[in-house]
């Protein structure tokens, strides 16, 4: 069907609008054909992808993402989900924290790491989900966690201190960047009152010390190429 797959660009991503009346296998073939045709336009852009117009299982989502990456040069950083608050935060982070030009082969992992799971990669990575206590993410480059980071994260595992770790919720002290480990400041007594609202934070190297700070536009300007 000619218009069974429609591509629309949005800031930092591509919406794939799909016909919900045709068999999935036919749709999958049409997705592959559409991205082959559009490859010269998108080239090797790093994008988020939104799948719309049709209810899909996780297996079907993975098959569509495979069809996209196998039939184009696109670097899919993240599959946009139905959590609008996380989507908005993701776009805000992505717009300001572009992976450096030689690192645009970033990977994504959709799902929560639990039960001691770990990820190791030579590329920058975006995790769309939580990293629970006892789990770990190791990247030779940069790490972005679109969820709660309670486990261990190691960026710059190839030995470079010039990388960063971002999380929507930073609830761990088990962080390393290159050959530097995060040293949590000593707590000065018990603080009464409501728990502070979680805000996206970034861990980075400053003069040989790993700092964790809330993300601001001024801070992110320091990471622009």
- pLDDT value at residue 194: 61
133 and 53 both lie in a single domain:
no
205 and 190 both lie in a single domain:
yes
142 and 123 both lie in a single domain:
yes
- The mean pLDDT value of the chain amounts to 80
- What sign results for the dihedral spanned by CA atoms 68, 69, 73, 75? positive
Residue 104 has pLDDT above 80, yes or no: no
Antiparallel, parallel or unpaired: β 201-206 and 209-214: antiparallel
- pLDDT value at residue 178: 93
Helix intervals (H) in the chain: 24-42, 58-70, 84-96, 217-220
CA pair distance 119, 121, nearest whole angstrom: 7
Read off the pLDDT of each residue in 214-223 and give the average, rounded to a whole number: 74
16 and 96 both lie in a single domain:
no
Cβ–Cβ under 8 Å, residues 95 and 12: yes
Q: Which of these three, 35, 56, 80, is where a domain ends? A: 80
Which residue range(s) make up the domain with 200? 83-225
Surface-to-core class of residue 115, CB atoms within 10 Å of its CB (0-12 exposed, 13-18 middle, 19+ buried): exposed
158 and 196 both lie in a single domain:
yes
- pLDDT value at residue 224: 56
Q: Specify the DSSP class assigned to residue 9.
A: E
**Cβ atoms within 10 Å of 141's Cβ, excluding its own:** 24
72 and 174 both lie in a single domain:
no
In angstroms, what is the C-alpha Rg of the chain?
19
Residue 180 has pLDDT above 90, yes or no: yes
- pLDDT value at residue 93: 56
Nearest to 213 by CA among 196, 201, 224, 197: 201
Residue 193 has pLDDT above 70, yes or no: no
Q: Which of these three, 30, 56, 80, is where a domain ends? A: 80
134 and 211 both lie in a single domain:
yes
48 and 110 both lie in a single domain:
no
- pLDDT value at residue 122: 83
Q: What is the CATH number of the domain that holds 156?
A: 2.160.20.70
pLDDT digits (tens, 9 = 90+) for 109-162: 777 888 888 888 888 888 878 999 999 999 989 999 988 999 999 999 888 899
Read off the pLDDT of each residue in 155-171 and give the average, rounded to a whole number: 90
To the nearest 10 degrees (0 to 180), the angle between helices 24-42 and 58-70 is: 40
Q: Which of these three, 80, 106, 122, is where a domain ends? A: 80
Nearest to 126 by CA among 53, 56, 55, 48: 48
What is the separation of C-alpha 54 from the centre of its chain, rounded to a whole number of angstroms? 23
Q: Which two tokens stand for residue 132?
A: 């629970």
118 and 76 both lie in a single domain:
no
pLDDT digits (tens, 9 = 90+) for 41-85: 877 777 778 888 888 887 888 888 888 888 988 877 666 655 555
The pLDDT-based confidence of 22 (bands split at 50, 70, 90) is very high
- pLDDT value at residue 100: 45
Q: What is the CATH number of the domain that holds 37?
A: 3.30.750
The pLDDT-based confidence of 211 (bands split at 50, 70, 90) is very high
91 and 76 both lie in a single domain:
no
Residue 24 has pLDDT above 50, yes or no: yes
Residue 98 has pLDDT above 80, yes or no: no
Backbone angles phi, psi at 200, to 5 degrees: -60, 140
Poorest-confidence range of 16-20, 79-83, 119-123, 195-199? 79-83
């Amino acid at each position: 069907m000619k218009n069974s797959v429609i591509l629309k660009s949005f800031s930092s991503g591509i919406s794939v609008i799909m016909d919900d009346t045709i068999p999935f296998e036919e749709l999958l073939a049409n997705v592959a054909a559409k991205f082959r045709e559009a490859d010269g336009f998108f080239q090797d852009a790093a994008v988020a992808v939104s799948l719309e117009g049709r209810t899909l299982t996780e297996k079907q989502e993975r098959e569509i993402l495979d069809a996209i990456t196998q039939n184009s040069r696109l670097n899919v950083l993240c599959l946009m989900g139905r959590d609008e608050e996380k989507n908005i935060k993701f776009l805000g982070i992505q717009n300001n924290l572009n992976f450096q030009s030689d690192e645009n082969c970033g990977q994504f992992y959709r799902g929560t790491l639990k039960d001691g799971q770990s990820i190791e990669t030579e590329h920058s990575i975006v995790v769309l989900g939580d990293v629970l206590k006892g789990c770990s993410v190791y990247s030779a480059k940069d790490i972005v966690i679109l969820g709660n980071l309670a486990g261990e994260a190691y960026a710059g595992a190839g030995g470079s201190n010039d990388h960063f770790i971002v999380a929507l919720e930073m609830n761990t002290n088990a962080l390393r960047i290159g050959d530097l480990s995060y040293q949590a400041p000593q707590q000065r007594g018990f603080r009464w009152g409501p728990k502070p609202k979680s805000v996206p934070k970034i861990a980075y190297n400053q003069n040989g010390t790993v700092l964790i700070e809330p993300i601001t536009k001024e801070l992110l300007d320091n990471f622009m190429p």
